[in-house]
A and B are shown apart, each in its own frame.
Chain A
Amino acid sequence: DAMVIQNPRYQVTQFGKPVTLSCSQTLNHNVMYWYQQKSSQAPKLLFHYYDKDFNNEADTPDNFQSRRPNTSFCFLDIRSPGLGDAAMYLCATSRDLTSGTYSYEQYFGPGTRLTVT
């Protein structure tokens, strides 16, 4: 089945040690998203790619970077993780952003739970 895959499912890193989370998709979707969900909070969009166009949300910390080397893969790099960056990180894709009055659903991976020690 076509899907969105995230690796690893659980990641433990040390305070200040760079970490990379990966996401791949077999849906051939133009758009890929990274969300952060902290405990008991709503998922929050960090950034998204429309093809190779990178769109950073205004309040996403500089500590978070992303790469999309091709349509299928997208990476989230956390340069110097702090304790406050412990969260579930969700990757999602969609076919397009919007078309006329239609909004396309997003397809999510199972998430990577990041622990910072």
Chain B
Amino acid sequence: ILNVEQSPQSLHVQEGDSTNFTCSFPSSNFYALHWYRWETAKSPEALFVMTLNGDEKKKGRISATLNTKEGYSYLYIKGSQPEDSATYLCAYMNYGGSQGNLIFGKGTKLSVKP
């Protein structure tokens, strides 16, 4: 059974704090790692798709790193804002599974207080 673990499950920070959370996944047969942000009552939206070991991607104040050999990815948010409040999902794809099958973690729920 392929498991994707995200930690912490939830996080409460003050506006302006920087924060980070972790996604762990099986390191064998790695193909891709996706990050999505899901705001309440909205659609999940893609943040990053990462495929190469050592990859680092950035979008505004949010960045992500990838270590495929040890099976983890970090998502960083610099200077959190209330609008960053959302659930952040990571999803893993491997070579062995059916094409297109993203295996999701349970997410990290971030709340940013003004």
Contact = CB atoms under 8 A, between A and B. Distances in A.
Contacts of A101: 51-52
B99 A42 contact: no
Interface of A: 3-4, 31, 33, 35, 40-45, 48, 50, 55, 57, 90, 92, 94, 97-98, 101-111
Contacts of A31: 100
Given A103-B93, A108-B45, A42 B4 contact: yes
10 contacts: A33-B100, A42-B103, A42-B107, A45-B102, A45-B103, A55-B100, A102-B49, A106-B46, A108-B36, A108-B43
The main secondary structure of chain A at its interface with chain B is strand
10 tightest A-B CB contacts, nearest first: A103-B32, A105-B46, A42-B104, A97-B99, A108-B44, A97-B100, A108-B43, A43-B104, A110-B43, A42-B106
